[in-house]
């Protein structure tokens, strides 16, 4: 990550864990753009931010779109194996995706895999997760509701 972006990454991860992963999933125009809850838990907070509409697929490698584009952040807290775990899902709009829809509200209880929302057309989803056993590597193609990103 570009050193100038490290402060942004820290800002987006502080409320999840001291150590963890920042997973960027690029969604092309032909991909399915629904997001699902990575864990069972409760929506602690949700924050929508207006922003630019940079190409969220091409600029994903530089993380420029991640920090500058319109986005919706959902912080989810749950209990896994007796431990409190927090994750964050960030829906990022792209140049073609100018509409983010969230299906959840603060304090709403969620099941693992439950639909959180949709981003219309090409876009990006960022998962901020604590240290887990990652089951993916850079370049993997993931499928919503099927691919396991990591295990606590």
pLDDT single digits (tens) 74-129: 999 999 889 999 999 999 988 776 789 999 999 999 999 999 999 877 678 888 88
Give the pLDDT score at 117: 94
Tell me the pLDDT band of 1, cut-offs 50, 70 and 90: very low
Tell me the pLDDT band of 59, cut-offs 50, 70 and 90: low
As a whole number of angstroms, the distance between CA 112 and CA 122 comes to 24
**% of the chain exceeding 70 in pLDDT:** 88
Average pLDDT of every residue of the chain: 83
Q: Is-catalytic flag, 123?
A: yes
CA-based angle 144:149:152, to the nearest 5? 130
Give the pLDDT score at 64: 78
Give the pLDDT score at 3: 39
CA-based angle 16:29:58, to the nearest 5? 65
Q: Write phi, then psi, for 60 (nearest 5 degrees).
A: -60, -35
Catalytic-labelled residue, pool 37, 45, 123, 143: 123
């Amino acid at each position: 990550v570009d050193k100038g972006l490290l402060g942004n990454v820290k800002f987006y991860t502080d409320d999840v864990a001291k150590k963890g992963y920042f997973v960027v999933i690029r969604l092309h125009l032909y991909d399915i753009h629904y997001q699902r809850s990575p864990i069972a838990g409760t929506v602690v907070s949700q924050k929508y931010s207006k922003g630019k509409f940079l190409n969220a697929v091409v600029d994903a490698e530089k993380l420029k779109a991640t920090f500058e584009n319109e986005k919706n952040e959902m912080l989810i807290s749950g209990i896994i194996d007796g431990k409190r775990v927090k994750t964050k899902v960030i829906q990022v709009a792209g140049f073609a995706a100018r509409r983010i829809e969230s299906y959840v509200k603060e304090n709403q209880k969620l099941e693992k895999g439950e639909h959180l929302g949709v981003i219309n057309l090409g876009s990006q989803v960022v998962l901020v997760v604590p240290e887990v056993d990652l089951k993916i590597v850079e370049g993997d193609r993931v499928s919503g509701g099927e691919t396991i990103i990591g295990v606590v």
